[in-house]
Amino acid sequence: MSTDTGVEENGPTTPTRIRMELSEDGEMWIITDEDTGVTTQGETREHALEMLDEAVALHAGNGENVDDEAALLEDLGLDPDEIEEARAESEELPEFMQ
């Protein structure tokens, strides 16, 4: 991907086309993998590239399984009970996830 050396064990990686720009307020770098359309951001150019590598890997299905959803939610500062109640109230995804 974008921050690697371009060489894997079996040879060079596939070239990746990215677009990177500084946000209007100048505080974040916004980066898009043009092949997948995946976009993310980072506080520095290097951080944005690292975040893009992770986002593209997740997009490709290379994420980690969540064994304990409640523990993960708590680690993220979310109340698992509130999440469960919200799911019970509506089966629709929030607008930003549609």
In a domain, 35, yes or no: yes
In this predicted structure, the answer to whether residue 18 has a pLDDT above a threshold of 50 is: yes
Does residue 51 sit within a domain? yes
Helix, strand, coil percentages (3-state) for the chain, rounded to 5, are 35, 20, 45
Within-domain flag for 16: yes
CA dist 30 → 2, 17, 52, 81, 90 (Å)? 14, 14, 10, 34, 32
Q: What is the pLDDT of residues 39-90, one digit of tens each?
A: 999 999 999 999 999 999 888 888 777 788 889 889 889 888 888 888 888 7
pTM for the whole thing?
Answer: 0.55
Classify residue 14: in a domain, yes or no.
Answer: yes
Between 53 and 9, the more confident residue is: 53
In a domain, 72, yes or no: no
CATH for 48: 3.30.160.250
Asked, for residue 87, whether it belongs to a domain, the answer is no
Q: Which residues pair with 12 in a beta bridge?
A: 7
Query: 64 lies in a domain?
Result: no
Q: Which domain holds residue 31?
A: 7-59
25 domain-assigned: yes
Give how many domains the chain has, as a whole number.
1
CA angle, corner 20, sides to 14 and 25, nearest 5?
A: 160
Take residue 15 and report the two structure tokens written for it. 């070239």
Strands 11-12 and 7-8: antiparallel
